[in-house]
Amino acid sequence: MKKTLILVVDDDPKIRRLLTVNLEKRNYTVQEAPNGEQAIASIEQVPPDLAILDLVMPGISGNEVCTWIREQGLLMPIIVLSAYDEEALKVKALDAGADDYVTKPFRMDEFLARMRAVMRRSATSELAPTEAKVKIEGLTIDVTARRAFVDEVDMHLTQTEFALLAALVKNRDAIVTHDELLAKVWGDEYRGSSHYLHVYLGRIRRKMGDKYSGLLETIAGQGYLLHSTFQG
């Protein structure tokens, strides 16, 4: 059975070693990179199943690596590490394509739990097994393939974007509150972290395009609603 490959990118060798030792102990295969340039070279050679990126590094930053990964159409989960806890930096990292943002210093058990949650989203769906494929106007959500299409053109959703869209599709025509969505996609500990939703739903709307973005409605002070038909 193929082991999960994790790329650890950090200019601090102590952080790299800490993560590598703990991940290898749990039977993951780990590739290290001390900077953004080497991270990109490593990904070009063998794309990992998960990337852990330090935010602030000499040369190419973690955000720039994250943006590059998404520009290549790679959908692997990405966790950004940072010593800074400002919400604006979290939003910037998420908008670059990160799936989660972990602040240093961190407890290893908490980090591993969040890492497992990110990877679990790439293997599960909020949609019921009976809904192998759902069509809403020109949108098609293929649950089996974990892909979504706009007028038969692939939306190239990341794993987290697909999980979020799937949660809305399963509850279509009903309001899903902020905390319900956060709990379904990120976990109970993310309740109240509405900036995740703001960034990710903005990305999903952009990928839906002007023609279909109106199907996804923001309900002020409550949550979000995905309509099954256009509202007149």
Please report the pLDDT score of residue 192 as a whole number. 87
pTM of the model: 0.83
pLDDT in tens, the chain (232 residues): 678 999 999 999 999 999 999 999 999 999 999 999 999 999 999 999 999 999 999 999 999 999 999 999 888 899 999 998 888 888 999 999 999 999 999 999 999 998 998 888 766 666 665 678 899 999 999 988 889 999 999 999 988 899 899 999 989 999 999 999 998 888 888 888 888 999 999 999 999 999 999 999 999 989 999 999 987 5
Identify whether the C-beta of residue 210 lies closer than 8 Å to the C-beta of residue 167. Answer: no
Measured CA to CA in angstroms, residue 223 lies from 7, 53, 170, 175, 176 at distances of 35, 30, 15, 6, 5
Domains of the chain by range and CATH?
5-120 (3.40.50.2300), 133-226 (1.10.10.10)
Question: What is the spatial distance between Cα 13 and Cα 19, in angstroms, rounded to a whole number?
Answer: 10
